[in-house]
Structure 1
Amino acid sequence: MAPRVNPSRAPRSHASWHGKLTQRAILAALVPTLVSGTACVGSTVSGVPLDAGAPATPPTSALAPRPRLKFAPEDETPIDFEKLNRLDTDGDGILDGDDNCPGDPNSNQADADGDGFGDVCEPTPRLVDTATTLTLNPSPARVGQPLTLTVTVRNTGSQTALSVGASIPLPEHLELVSLASSQGSCTHDRWSSVLCKLGDLPAGRALTVTIQCTPSTTGSLTVKAFALTEALDHDANSGNDMPALSLTVLP
């Protein structure tokens, strides 16, 4: 007679035993979390807790009041141009809106050159002319041989030219050797331009910038120079401020 087997003690298959063990391990790991009531709180999608629900709105009292933005055009009193035009600042009997020199008495409104400025307040032109010339020696030049560039700035006007500056962009195949100026100072930047601050230049006087360089390859080059005076001066002839020369470099 075959022995009776208790069903509860019957051997289990390996798969059934492994499944039960896995379930128990998962439950054992979740018990502390389930007991504490924090299950799933840490689960997020795109940074938002899954059980967070609708975003909480902070109480009104917790929000800092937004400062009122101020815009100058709204806060400032508009300028009344009509009122200003009805003034007579210089007391010459002509309203400022019609006066060609509202700050200087000129009841006759004389304007010899017809430029809209009365003769008594006509801006005084700065009669300066920074005539600029450029020489290359020798020309044509030879590869590896010294070449001298000389820039001369002469003030052919009747008044002092203030804060004269000069710029000489060196072509790619001219290698700088030395740099000098008769007044002021010059520098050479990484873009191969010579920049000079040359100071004031009295009427009838001239200054020079001398550049020694060496051609590194054959061909035709264009050498340019440019000189100017400060923006408040009026150059009598701006057409002679930027000379340019062609240079042939031989082997």
Structure 2
Amino acid sequence: MHGQDDWANLRLGNQTGYDLLSTPAGAPLQELSHEVFDDRALVDTDGDGVVNGSDNCPSLSNPAQTDTDGDGFGDDCDPSAFISDLELSGTSAPAQPIAGAATTYTFSVHNAGSGVNHHASLTVDLPANVNIGAITASSGTCVRKGMFISCKLGDLALGATVTVSVVATHTASGTVTVSVNVVVA
């Protein structure tokens, strides 16, 4: 800016603009009141009929909004309110695998805890001397990578049982070791 000395007339403020749509034609501009609006408060992410802005436990469905200890968090979200207890059992048929014959391994995961068990998963690690055939789950999905099978069982209701079956043909006789784990994420 050569030859200009308007810096003294420069006025800085924290206003970023005016809403011209609400100003009548010919009227002087007036500053509008701007409120912060959080539309996430109107969403019900857990589907319990209570919007997140009013929900004391927005991550888990709890339509009654019970808060026994008065801490502002619903009982369903209190760590002490939930006891995770997944029971894992497994069988093979036939009981003693035979080389060249199909063996069906069946694994059951039972929720014996105190409520819904979220994001349960089951992993199966089979030995190298088997050919893996069909993999089925009564709930959730399973994927195979090499000799490793990972099943996302989803949410297990209290008392629910999910079964995963794996059909495998053994290529050699001998001791078979199958490693199985169940995890809650």
TM-score, with length taken from structure 1: 0.42
CA gap of 1:136–1:161, structure 2 versus 1, over 3 A, is same
1:203 paired residue number: 158
1:168 paired residue number: 124
SS at match of 1:124: helix
Which sections of structure 2, spanning at least 5 residues, go unmatched?
Answer: 1-68, 72-77
Pair 1:126 & 2:82 matched? yes
How far is the alpha carbon of 1:223 from its aligned partner?
Answer: 1.3
Question: In 2, distance between residues paired with 1:208 and 1:183?
Answer: 7
Work out whether residues 148 and 210 of structure 1, in 8 Å CA contact, stay in contact via their aligned partners in 2: yes
How far is the alpha carbon of 1:125 from its aligned partner?
Answer: 3.8
SS at match of 1:222: coil
CA gap of 1:123–1:181, structure 2 versus 1, over 3 A, is closer
**Cα offsets for 1:83-117 (capped at 9, x unmatched):** xxxxxxxxxxxxxxxxxxxxxxxxxxxxxxxxxxx
CA gap of 1:123–1:199, structure 2 versus 1, over 3 A, is closer
Q: Map 1:93-172 onto structure 2 (within 5 A).
A: 121=71, 123-172=79-128
Question: In 2, distance between residues paired with 1:193 and 1:204?
Answer: 28
How far is the alpha carbon of 1:177 from its aligned partner?
Answer: 0.9
**Cα offsets for 1:174-211 (capped at 9, x unmatched):** 21011100011001103x10101110000111000000
Aligned residues: 111
How far is the alpha carbon of 1:120 from its aligned partner?
Answer: 5.6
Pair 1:221 & 2:176 matched? yes
**Cα offsets for 1:16-68 (capped at 9, x unmatched):** xxxxxxxxxxxxxxxxxxxxxxxxxxxxxxxxxxxxxxxxxxxxxxxxxxxxx
Pair 1:184 & 2:136 matched? no
Letter in 1 for 2:167: Q
CA gap of 1:218–1:183, structure 2 versus 1, over 3 A, is same
Question: In 2, distance between residues paired with 1:198 and 1:186?
Answer: 8
SS at match of 2:127: coil
Question: In 1, distance between residues paired with 2:102 and 2:80?
Answer: 46
Work out whether residues 128 and 203 of structure 1, in 8 Å CA contact, stay in contact via their aligned partners in 2: no
Which sections of structure 1, spanning at least 5 residues, go unmatched?
Answer: 1-118, 231-251
**Percent of pairs with identical residues:** 27
Give the number of the structure whose residues are more often helix, by fraction. 1
SS at match of 2:151: strand
How far is the alpha carbon of 1:124 from its aligned partner?
Answer: 2.8
Question: In 2, distance between residues paired with 1:123 and 1:194?
Answer: 31
How far is the alpha carbon of 1:222 from its aligned partner?
Answer: 1.2
RMSD across aligned positions (CA): 1.5
CA radius of gyration, larger in: 1
Question: In 1, distance between residues paired with 2:127 and 2:79?
Answer: 41
Question: In 1, distance between residues paired with 2:174 and 2:82?
Answer: 43
Work out whether residues 179 and 210 of structure 1, in 8 Å CA contact, stay in contact via their aligned partners in 2: yes
